Amino acid sequence: MNIITIKNYINGTLVMPTSGQYLDVYNPATGAVYAKAPDSDAHDVQLATEAAQQAFPVWSKMSAEKRSKLLLKIADGITANFEKLALAESIDNGKPLSLARTVDIPRSASNFYFYATAVMHHASESHFMEEGAINYTLRRPIGVVGCISPWNLPLYLFTWKIAPALAAGNCVVAKPSEITPMTAYLLSEICIEAGLPPGVLNIVHGLGGKVGQAITEHPSIPVISFTGGTSTGAHIASTAAPKFKKLSLELGGKNPAIIFADCNYETMLKTVARSSFSNQGQICLCGSRIFVERPLYEQFKADFVAEVNKLTVGDPLNEASNLGAVVSEAHLKKVLSYIELAKEEGGMILTGGKRIQVEGICKNGWFVQPTVIEGLPFDCRTNQEEIFGPVVSIMPFDTEEEVLRYANSTQYGLASSLWTENLSRANRMAEEIKTGIVWVNCWMLRDLRTPFGGMKNSGVGREGGWEAFRFFTEPKNVCVKYGT
């Protein structure tokens, strides 16, 4: 099989890394190297930053309509390459092709469509003073922004940062995860095809500690938008804060699903199975701690295990597969280590708990059974730390106060789901749950206009809607006195 060699996208062209060095890129479903990505370094980041600086004056002063038209061409390019991108994402990340087709690639196109049109409606405020003055707020693009994204939803999260940054008039130096670089590379080709001016977007592939670090510390990149692990986010903050950089950090989560006995049972059961194991549990919004009101607990336990046992783990390219492979051998070991920890902490494995060997070409792939654990205390490590794999714990509760204490007990505060038909209780609980997103009787229902992000150790700032434009612009108050 021929090995695909990925290139950096700098100043409008596809180029090799200055070092001439490359990193192996694995197909998680086979465990084999299938591509090579640039092992770039600070020199490549410097070239990209210079290109972005040179492009900024024209791009930032281009009319919103012209920028919109170019971003719409990129969105159309994603749509035109839908199948190619979906297949690439599935092979690169290990996720089922069906998921890449229904979630990752449609959302990647939506990200560009949304911000290509939002920029046409982006306005700002004015404040009139009786003393005879008018204040107006100028929201202008900042300059070169750094966008660093993770491996779980590669193109989806990459474009979620790039689209608003470009729409707001900034130029971008972006780094996808070295574990899943392929669709970012294909996006480069789409941008060239769309006629995006050279230097407006630059994509530098490589390791976080080298390329990500170089972006974070570069003196000419005053804004960093990051999605990834909480510990990495803390490191980035420690590098960027003393340089007074503007930071957006979307980090980890340990999301609760809270189920009351009066819920719409069938809808809840199907949705909680999906929110637990979609993308092999590798979505920061997945629910990994399931709390069930005691009268419903035994029935839920039996039905949920039966539902999980229907899930097929296999070749991501097989339409029948509900779960594919986890993203890397290191991540496989991390997930399996947490299952062992759960047993040490007194957990009972109700289903799953092991690595799966899939027959045929995927026999060396990194597959884990969807795993359900009960009998763990709410405050043990398994229930406090982010596993980011197909592993959930379930436990009963008796009162709202008790389940709120459990749900809010972790260092994280990203997302939660709440299942009840009682309107008062839903709103009362939503106010008390300490997460940036609360889904009531649904999960992953996303309106891109809404503020997206978490509290506590799940991050700083919000993405989405006008929040993203506020982040990617500098507000200036101009006060004009005209009265005597």
Active site amino acids = 250, 284
Per CB under 6 A, contacts with ligand TXE among 230-249 are: 232, 235-236
Comparison of 163 and 236: residue with beta carbon closer to ligand TXE: 236
User: Is residue 396 a contact residue for ligand TXE (CB under 6 A)?
Assistant: no
User: Is residue 227 a contact residue for ligand TXE (CB under 6 A)?
Assistant: yes
One-letter amino acid of 49: T
User: Is residue 229 a contact residue for ligand TXE (CB under 6 A)?
Assistant: yes
Among 90, 177, 255, 276, binds ligand TXE (CB under 6 A): 177
Number of chain positions touching ligand TXE (CB under 6 A): 25
Distance of CA 442 to the CA centre of its chain: 19
**Closest approach of ligand TXE to the CB of residue 235, in Å:** 5
Comparison of 204 and 440: residue with beta carbon closer to ligand TXE: 204
Comparison of 221 and 395: residue with beta carbon closer to ligand TXE: 221
- Collapsing DSSP to helix, strand or coil, 125 comes out as coil
What does the alpha-carbon distance between residue 234 and residue 1 come to, in Å, rounded to a whole number?
Answer: 40
Comparison of 191 and 327: residue with beta carbon closer to ligand TXE: 327
User: Is residue 288 a contact residue for ligand TXE (CB under 6 A)?
Assistant: no
The helix (run of H) or strand (run of E) holding residue 80 is: helix 64-80
What does the alpha-carbon distance between residue 278 and residue 275 come to, in Å, rounded to a whole number?
Answer: 6
Burial label for 203, CB within 10 Å (0-12, 13-18, 19+), is buried
User: Is residue 217 a contact residue for ligand TXE (CB under 6 A)?
Assistant: no
The answer to whether residues 155 and 184 touch, using CB atoms and an 8 Å cutoff, is yes
**Closest approach of ligand TXE to the CB of residue 212, in Å:** 2
Around Cβ 183, how many Cβ atoms within 10 Å? 29
**Closest approach of ligand TXE to the CB of residue 92, in Å:** 13
Residue at token pair 């059974």: 369
Around Cβ 467, how many Cβ atoms within 10 Å? 18
User: Is residue 89 a contact residue for ligand TXE (CB under 6 A)?
Assistant: no
Comparison of 159 and 232: residue with beta carbon closer to ligand TXE: 232
Structure-token pair, residue 305: 């295990």
The helix-helix angle for 82-93 and 64-80 (nearest 10°) equals 70
286-301 exposure pattern, b = at least 16 Cβ within 10 A, e = fewer: bbbbbbbbeebbeebb
Comparison of 92 and 293: residue with beta carbon closer to ligand TXE: 92
Among 42, 163, 190, 284, binds ligand TXE (CB under 6 A): 284
**Closest approach of ligand TXE to the CB of residue 226, in Å:** 6
Sign of the Cα torsion 121, 442, 157, 3 reads negative
CA angle 193, 197, 199 (to 5 degrees): 115
User: Is residue 150 a contact residue for ligand TXE (CB under 6 A)?
Assistant: yes
DSSP per residue over 141-202, as a string?
Answer: E-SEEEEE--SSSHHHHHHHHHHHHHHTT-EEEEE--TTS-HHHHHHHHHHHHHTPPTTSEE
The answer to whether residues 326 and 389 touch, using CB atoms and an 8 Å cutoff, is yes
Per CB under 6 A, contacts with ligand TXE among 374-393 are: 386, 388
**Closest approach of ligand TXE to the CB of residue 250, in Å:** 5
**Closest approach of ligand TXE to the CB of residue 256, in Å:** 16
Comparison of 315 and 386: residue with beta carbon closer to ligand TXE: 386
One-letter amino acid of 24: D
Give the CA distances from residue 198 to residues 57, 161, 203, 480, in Å, rounded to whole numbers and listed in that order: 12, 19, 12, 38
Per CB under 6 A, contacts with ligand TXE among 333-362 are: none
User: Is residue 213 a contact residue for ligand TXE (CB under 6 A)?
Assistant: yes
Among 167, 251, 263, 358, binds ligand TXE (CB under 6 A): 251
**Closest approach of ligand TXE to the CB of residue 269, in Å:** 25
Within 13 A of 125's CA, how many CA atoms are on the CB side? 6
Comparison of 40 and 110: residue with beta carbon closer to ligand TXE: 40
Among 39, 41, 92, 178, binds ligand TXE (CB under 6 A): 178
User: Is residue 280 a contact residue for ligand TXE (CB under 6 A)?
Assistant: no
Among 11, 93, 98, 152, binds ligand TXE (CB under 6 A): 152
Among 208, 396, 453, 461, binds ligand TXE (CB under 6 A): 208
Among 107, 175, 218, 462, binds ligand TXE (CB under 6 A): 175
DSSP state of 323: B
- Binding residues for ligand TXE (CB under 6 A): 148-152, 175, 177-178, 208-209, 212-213, 216, 227-229, 232, 235-236, 250-252, 284, 386, 388
